[in-house]
């Protein structure tokens, strides 16, 4: 989960912004630390060469230094962050090799559902993608607001009930990565992790074919059971019965998840389900 070990172009650009920002701040911080030590040493009580100026009030040169350098630093930092963040628009295309892979992600309480509408399969808490391909994510939530984040691939983005957000990424190298929820969403939040398996483009069709042979079917009925609040330790796979399932979730034709139980004024538990629109 190393932010400084990017495995895709978006994460690499984020890493560059972070490193550049730290370097710019160090250019100010390091000389300031040395200046503090130098001033403390020079103006020590035992130094007869240090001039004592109790009536000193103003110096234009000092004012210029103490105001100009921080102002220029803020402008430079702001420019690096503003330009970099706008270039990394989550919806901007990230060209890759081969055909783009569409993935529809749904944050549940407390698990992640990934739907591959073109391949007619779905997985829970595991995401498998081909190296080098553009990954087109559509994201929504079945319950409370959440955040989808794969640190080594780049930009985190919110998932919200009743709406769809978009994110484009690319994984350049084969290997195992980890994704997570980056937004507190209740008791099971720490367990909202998912595996990211980046495999060869040649192996991806084989993985799809194997997954499509699973006995479990994802439809409205099985989804309704899946979205119930709970922690799923297993990595589940499904055949997708209806490729419109994600749209039904996002438009709330399938009602949102029940959410946590809350205590009423009378002390009796009642459902905390809600519509976040």
Average pLDDT across each block of 10 residues of the chain; the chain has 277 residues. List them in order.
85 91 91 92 88 84 89 91 89 91 94 96 96 96 92 92 94 94 85 94 96 93 88 88 92 76 48 39
d(CA 168, CA 188): 27
pLDDT of 239: 94
The CATH number assigned to the domain with range 101-258 reads: 2.60.40.420
d(CA 114, CA 136): 12
Other C-beta atoms closer than 10 Å to the C-beta of 65 total: 11
* Spans of all domains in the chain: 9-47+57-87, 101-258
pLDDT of 277: 35
pLDDT of 38: 94
Structure tokens at 185: 């969403």
Phi, psi (degrees; rounded to nearest 5) at 266: -85, 0
pLDDT of 48: 87
Q: What is the largest CA-CA distance in the chain?
A: 88
Dihedral over Cα of 145, 151, 152, 155: its sign:
positive
Contacts with 159 (C-beta within 8 Å, 6 or more apart), sequence order: 105, 106, 107, 139, 140, 141, 145, 146, 147, 148, 165
Dihedral over Cα of 223, 164, 242, 117: its sign:
negative
Structure tokens at 12: 């690499």
Asked if 196 contacts 150 with a C-beta cutoff of 8 angstroms, the reply is yes
For residues 224, 226, 231 and 235, what is the CA-based torsion angle, rounded to 10 degrees? -170
Structure tokens at 221: 């009925």
d(CA 194, CA 216): 20
From residue 121, alpha-carbon distances to 74, 83, 106, 199, 242 in Å are 49, 38, 14, 17, 10
pLDDT of 1: 56
Q: What angle do CA 156, 72, 86 make, to 5 degrees?
A: 25
pLDDT of 273: 41
**In 3-state terms, what secondary structure has residue 217?**
strand
* Angle in degrees, 0-180, between the axes of helices 60-87 and 9-42, rounded to the nearest 10: 170
d(CA 225, CA 222): 5
């Amino acid at each position: 989960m190393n932010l400084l070990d990017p495995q895709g172009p978006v994460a690499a650009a984020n890493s560059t912004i972070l490193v550049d920002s730290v370097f710019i701040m160090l250019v100010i911080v390091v000389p300031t630390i040395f200046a503090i030590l130098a001033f403390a040493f020079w103006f020590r009580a035992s130094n007869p060469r240090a001039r004592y100026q109790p009536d000193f009030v103003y110096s234009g040169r000092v004012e210029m230094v103490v105001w100009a350098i921080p102002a220029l630093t803020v402008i430079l930092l702001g420019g690096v962050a503003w330009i970099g963040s706008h270039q990394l628009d989550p919806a901007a295309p990230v060209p890759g090799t081969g055909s783009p892979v569409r993935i529809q992600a749904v944050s549940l309480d407390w698990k992640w559902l990934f739907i591959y509408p073109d391949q007619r399969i779905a997985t829970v808490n595991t995401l498998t993608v081909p190296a080098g391909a553009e990954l087109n994510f559509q994201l929504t939530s079945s319950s409370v607001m959440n955040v989808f984040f794969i640190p080594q691939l780049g930009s985190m983005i919110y998932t919200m009930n009743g709406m769809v957000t978009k994110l484009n990424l690319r994984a350049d190298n084969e290997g195992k990565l980890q994704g997570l929820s980056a937004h507190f969403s209740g008791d099971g939040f720490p367990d909202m992790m998912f595996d990211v398996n980046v495999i060869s483009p040649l192996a991806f069709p084989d993985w799809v074919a194997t997954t499509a042979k699973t006995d479990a079917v994802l439809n409205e009925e099985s989804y309704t059971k899946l979205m119930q609040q709970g922690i799923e330790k297993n990595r589940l796979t499904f055949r997708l019965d209806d490729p419109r399932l994600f749209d039904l979730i996002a438009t709330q034709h399938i009602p949102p998840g029940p959410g946590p139980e809350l205590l009423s004024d009378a002390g009796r538990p009642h459902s905390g389900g809600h519509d976040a629109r």
